[in-house]
């Protein structure tokens, strides 16, 4: 089973861990999506502080 830690691309702060289940669905097994901000166009995760600094509305 594939596990992936998601960290802020700016400061490296840990946000959450994603894991694929048997049906290949991605679910969050640690942390929370609410810890960070996801830019779906760039496919990048930021922590909330860095997202604000980058000018995103969080």
Q: How far is the CB of 13 from Zn ion (least distance, A)?
A: 5
Closest approach, Cβ 34 to Zn ion, in A, equals 15
Binding site for Zn ion (CB under 5 A): 8, 10-11, 13, 47, 50
- What gap in Å lies between CA 41 and CA 25, rounded to an integer? 21
Residue 50 has what DSSP assignment?
Answer: H
Q: Which is nearer to Zn ion, 18 or 54 (CB)?
A: 54
- In the complex with Zn ion, the residue whose CB is nearer, 24 or 32, is 32
User: Which DSSP letter does residue 22 get?
Assistant: T
Q: How far apart are CA 25 and CA 32, in angstroms?
A: 16
């Amino acid at each position: 089973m594939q596990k992936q830690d998601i960290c802020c691309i700016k400061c490296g702060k840990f946000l959450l861990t994603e894991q694929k289940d048997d049906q290949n669905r991605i679910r969050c097994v640690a942390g929370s999506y609410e810890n960070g901000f996801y830019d779906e166009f760039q496919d990048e995760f930021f922590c909330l502080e860095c997202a604000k600094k980058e000018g995103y509305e969080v």
